[in-house]
Amino acid sequence: MTMQEKMHNVSLYLPNDPSIVAEQTKCLEKLYDYNATRPGEGEKRTALLREMFAEFGEGSYIEPPLHANFGGKFVHFGKNVYANFNLTLVDDTHIYVGDCTMFGPNVTVATAGHPILPELRAQGYQYNAAVHIGRNCWIGAGAVILPGITIGDNVVVGAGSVVTKDLPDNVVAVGNPCRVLRPVSDNDREYYFKQHAIDPELLR
């Protein structure tokens, strides 16, 4: 099995393998170009992201600067995904994001990990586990999602949370480590923030 194959099946591998470094450098050159775009260059940004990402759905947008180990090469965005400033994608293997999901500023989605055993870390070994984020999620500012995590549909992850375990559909989850606080409820159909009521016309 090649080092490139080991990247995508949770095997230990050496990320400094010359063939991996060469591929990564090409990806990071495109990422540099993306982060150097100007605010009025929306079409250029979209074109670059479609080159850089494995999939980049219609209507999706990422506010520069974007940080990504492989410039998005292993990232799959659905439609109408939005990411605020400083999204960090540790995309050494695949990251899947469903339609209409939003990322607050300074979110990190990590697929890469290193062995606890010091002798293996000293040799430079790494492993990667894919991350799956569902449709219509809101990942709050500063949240961290760890390798191998699956987040269901319609999930809200509170700002500053560290997601260490999978989250089911239709929940609000917060904290470090992140835990389910409550389900998305009927109250959420009445109020959008504290006692600020939702106009019923918006739900028709």
Q: Is the pLDDT of residue 46 over 90?
A: yes
Provide the 8-state DSSP code for 117: S
Q: Is the pLDDT of residue 204 over 90?
A: no
Query: Residue 95 corresponds to which tokens in the numbers above?
Result: 């990251």
pLDDT in tens, 97-128: 999 999 999 999 999 999 999 999 999 999 99
* Residue 82 confidence (pLDDT): 98
CA distance 150 to 135: 12
Task: Give the pLDDT mean for 34-60.
Answer: 98
Alpha helix positions (H), 153-199: 187-190
Q: Is the pLDDT of residue 58 over 90?
A: yes
**Considering the chain, what percentage of its residues have pLDDT values greater than 90?**
99
Task: Give the pLDDT mean for 180-192.
Answer: 95
Q: Which residue has the tokens 């940004």?
A: 45
Q: Is the pLDDT of residue 190 over 90?
A: yes
β pairing state of 75-77 and 55-56: parallel
CA distance 97 to 87: 13
Bridge partners, residue 111, by sequence: none
CA distance 24 to 146: 21
* pTM of the shown model: 0.96
Q: Is 160 helix (H, G, I), strand (E, B) or coil?
A: coil
Task: Give the pLDDT mean for 70-89.
Answer: 98
CA distance 92 to 184: 33
- Domain 3-202, what architecture? 3 Solenoid (2.160)
Torsion of CA 60, 35, 15, 20, to 10 degrees: 90
Q: Which residue has the tokens 């990564």?
A: 24
Q: Is the pLDDT of residue 35 over 90?
A: yes
CA distance 17 to 4: 9
pLDDT band at 78 (very low <50, low <70, confident <90, very high): very high
CA distance 57 to 60: 6
* Residue 81 confidence (pLDDT): 98
Query: Residue 130 corresponds to which tokens in the numbers above?
Result: 């894919």
Strands (E), 11-148: 55-56, 61-62, 66-68, 75-77, 82-83, 87-90, 95-97, 102-103, 108-110, 112-113, 127-128, 131-133, 138-139, 144-145
* Residue 198 confidence (pLDDT): 95
* Enzyme catalytic residues: 114
pLDDT band at 95 (very low <50, low <70, confident <90, very high): very high
